[in-house]
Structure 1
């Protein structure tokens, strides 16, 4: 009996807390996509990606041209010239593979450098809204959450956007 009374006393404050708790949800992806700095960063990343694609296409064209030339003339080459040409083609292909890997790493690094400050700003705004609004939890719905109750959770996306304007 004492254990039952003790358990009820311990659970009562939790029940009262849960009834008064405020929960919110936000669409951080929508906020990010509406930011001018995100649009600018995305444009810069797309331009850099396009430049890398053009560079890689030029390398592919060069390899293809030299490979076609080799295929046309290999029957007339002596063994030494054939081996030199094959080695040259192999080096070009390795250079292409390395450039592809370097470009992917550079693009990932650029993406992180450009997007990290934007994400940090959004997270700061969400935290500020949470603290100022007395929220227990603010969930990001852009992560594919299957259901959030509109009656038990408030959409604070507009509040976070307003907070983002204050952070500028």
Structure 2
């Protein structure tokens, strides 16, 4: 009986100690996507990326238009080919076909370069924004005494019934106004 009483007291003490320890570790959460999308820097970056995308699309479309014109020229010459002009037209057709193959290669290279340019521009524009947000998150966490801040946007949290949502606090630290809260 004495051992049972000691076990109950020891178990109660451990539970109390665990609860006291966990009470000291504040856990909060934010939605970094909401914070990022609410900043003026993000909106400006999006505008620049869209502008670059439109420029790249126009360049590719112009190249494709030239390719289509060559294709039409090739088809027209092939249609007008006869026994009398066969040798001359065949030389022209081969020349056009070679030009078209070169254009295809350039179009492919340009598409790949456009994708690289877009990725580089995104990295260039978003890296400082992410750094700024992380600095604000760290400042809010320290000011409010949080040991952990979980990011709901990263997908690593599948359930969040408790904890404090610090999204608005981080937005305030960045000087941006909160947009409508996302629906869960």
Q: Deviation string for 1:132-156 (max 9, x for gaps)?
A: 2111211111234331023xx0011
| Native 8 Å contact 2:77 2:93 kept in 1 | no
SS in 1 for 2:28: strand
Partners of 1:78 and 1:62 in 2: CA distance: 21
Q: What pairs with 1:52-67 in structure 2 (closer than 5 Å)?
A: 52-67=56-71
Partners of 1:22 and 1:10 in 2: CA distance: 20
Q: What is the root-mean-square deviation in Å for CA atoms of aligned residues?
A: 2.4
Task: Tell me the matched-pair count.
Answer: 160
Confirm whether residue 41 of structure 1 aligns to residue 45 of structure 2.
Answer: yes
With structure 2 as the length reference, what TM-score do the two structures score? Answer: 0.78
Partners of 1:109 and 1:124 in 2: CA distance: 23
Misfit runs of 4+, over 3 Å: 7-15
Structure 2, unaligned runs of 5 or more = 82-87, 177-184
Q: What pairs with 1:15-94 in structure 2 (closer than 5 Å)?
A: 15-74=19-78, 76=81, 77-94=88-105
With structure 1 as the length reference, what TM-score do the two structures score? Answer: 0.84
From 110, 125, 146, the equivalent of 2:136 is: 125
Structure 1, unaligned runs of 5 or more = none
